Amino acid sequence: MNDAPETGPPPRKVRSPGWHAIVIGASIMVVVILAALFAPLIAPHDPYAQSMLARFRPPSAEYWLGSDRFGRDTFSRILYGLRITLWTALASTVMAMVTGTAAGILSGYHGGRVDRWISAANDVLMSFPQMVAGIIIVALLGPGVTNLIIAIAITTFPAFYRMARSAALALRERDYIDACRVLGYSDLRIVSRHILPETMDDMIVIATLWLATAVRTESSLAFIGLGAPPPAATLGGLVREGFDNLLDFPGLAIWPSLAILVVMIGLNLMGDGLRDANDPRTSA
């Protein structure tokens, strides 16, 4: 008689609830980023070359998505527009993350007058809707990619500042932080070794989510003429150009709009997946 205990099947590994969203979103963004990086190799035409003989061509083997009123290839301009839009969104989000995280940790860790001053400035900035603040800043600085990056970074700053400040306020009261002070650690060492690493996971999740917002803001500002000046191609600028001939040639506005939609879906899926994976309530 065999008295050996019965063994069941090995336990299944439980994947993070956001795993599928991360994979789908990352796959979309890999394709988009590769298309933007290799645009000079993929684009069938020079995106800035004009030909009055090729105006408003329908989609064909020569012009895959048709051509605009100046005879420029729409598909090529979308590829090059992706480069400017993605760069603007990435640069502005990184700038906002670095400055917002630094200011939030400084404010939350030190408290007192520093906290009051920075928080007051942040409250003033938050009192304006993001688009309104972006329009004001770009109007003051002038159109252009660099000024657009600065404007989006300023309007995105509060999201990172609030999260970093909340984390620093909670962490500075922990016992191990008090022990570090007793041992004579400098504030810089405590922040860089203990507080900053504890906040980085949340900052990366927020950055992924706000990348989609940055794409939307850049496209919206470009649509109203506050983006990169012509003849530079941006997705929002292409939508605006297409609207001038929307009834007769709707594809000129539809194709770049779909490109914006695909980018935002990819970024939102990644951000939502990272947020769910980082949330202990959903990963338990």
pTM: 0.85
Torsional sign, CA 142, 143, 146, 147: positive
Q: Is residue 182 part of a domain?
A: yes
CATH number, domain of 114, equals 1.10.3720.10
Q: Is residue 66 part of a domain?
A: no
Q: Is residue 104 part of a domain?
A: yes
- Between CA 115 and CA 105 the distance in angstroms is 10
What are 134-190's pLDDT values in tens digits?
A: 899 998 988 889 999 999 999 999 999 999 998 888 887 777 777 877 777 777 888
Q: Is residue 13 part of a domain?
A: no
Q: Which domain holds residue 169?
A: 19-45+76-283
Q: Is residue 58 part of a domain?
A: no
What are 96-139's pLDDT values in tens digits?
A: 999 999 999 999 888 888 889 989 989 988 888 888 998 999 98
Instruction: Please report where in the chains the tokens 């972006």 appear, as a residue.
Output: 134
Q: Is residue 61 part of a domain?
A: no
Q: Is residue 224 part of a domain?
A: yes
Please count the structural domains in the chain. Answer: 1
Alpha helices per DSSP H over 111-250: 112-126, 130-141, 145-171, 175-182, 187-190, 196-223, 235-243
Q: Does residue 250 have a cis peptide bond before it, meaning omega lies within 30 degrees of 0?
A: no
Write b or e for each residue in 21-51: b if 16 or more Cβ atoms lie within 10 A of its Cβ, otherwise e: bbeebbebbeebbebbeebeeebebebeeee
Q: Is residue 11 part of a domain?
A: no
**Residue 168 CB burial class (10 angstroms; 0-12, 13-18, ≥19):** buried
Neighbours of 65 (CB within 10 A): 21
